[in-house]
Amino acid sequence: MRLRKTHEMPTAETALPGRSEPLRTDEVHYVNGRPLKGPHPEGFETAIFGMGCFWGVERLFWRLPGVWVTAAGYSGGFTPNPTYEETCTGLTGHAEVVQVVFNPHEIGYAELLRVFWENHDPTQGMRQGNDVGTTYRSAIYYLSDAQRAEAEASRDAYQAALRKAGRGDITTGIAPAGAFYFAEDYHQAYLAKNPGGYCGIGGTGVTCPIGLGVEA
């Protein structure tokens, strides 16, 4: 199955074929016991972020007040129901992502975006720190026109802050959300199950003005 690592995105024709059945995953969140796949309370919203290795990213979001449940998964590519090993090759087109279900009356999408920008380096292209490859790319997958507008406005605001700090250009992809595939059970809430496990995320040290008095 050509299980080799690549730094270039595949096409629909060259991507791995995947499988029709979902992978085995947890039914409830390991930390808060809430159902990973729903149902979720009425009026709650969903966000999807790629920031590198999803182990540390998921913990970052499940700790936020107003976040109902989080899940590690794969999105942005072509292969249906990919395995972790397949995704790491870069031949699925997917990024490691975290799905965040949140109560918009307790935490807004703009605040999630601020956490997103400040806790990884969005200027690194197909990598995040020592994690190299398309699966570790920075990405926002929006689920509504409102999310798209906020994501793009926050990107522009953070780019201005980065330039002021002498940093490079943002490479984050902002695209409509496609299928989200839940990662295998051992990836869910990984750092709660393995407290000494690898995290891998780290920010630029530049504050994002979104959520600090600057409108998205």
What was the pLDDT predicted at 115?
97
Q: In which band, very low, low, confident or very high, does the pLDDT at 8 lie, cut at 50, 70 and 90? A: confident
Q: What angle do CA 137, 93, 160 make, to 5 degrees?
A: 30
- Whether the bond into 82 is cis, omega within 30 of 0: no
Contact 123, 162 (CB under 8 A): yes
Confidence band (pLDDT; 50, 70, 90) for 209?
confident
* pLDDT tens, residue by residue, 34-67: 999 999 999 999 999 999 999 999 999 999 999 9
Largest CA distance in the chain: 50
Q: Quick one: pLDDT at residue 210?
A: 67
Spatial CB neighbours of 168, under 8 Å, sequence gap ≥ 6: 123, 162
Three-state secondary structure call for residue 55:
helix
pLDDT of residue 213: 40
Annotated active-site residue in 53, 88, 199, 208: 53
pLDDT at 3: 43
Instruction: Please tell me the predicted confidence (pLDDT) of residue 216.
Output: 36
User: What CA–CA distance (Å, rounded) separates 63 from 98?
Assistant: 13
pLDDT at 203 over 50: yes
User: Can you tell me the distance from the alpha carbon of 175 to that of 177, in angstroms, rounded to the nearest whole number?
Assistant: 6
Give CA–CA dist 190/58, Å, rounded: 8
H-state helical runs in the chain: 54-62, 84-88, 109-118, 145-164, 190-193
Asked if 173 contacts 141 with a C-beta cutoff of 8 angstroms, the reply is no
Token pair for 179: 């299928």
Residue 208: active-site member: no
Radius of gyration over every alpha carbon of the chain, rounded to an integer in angstroms: 16
pLDDT of 211: 52
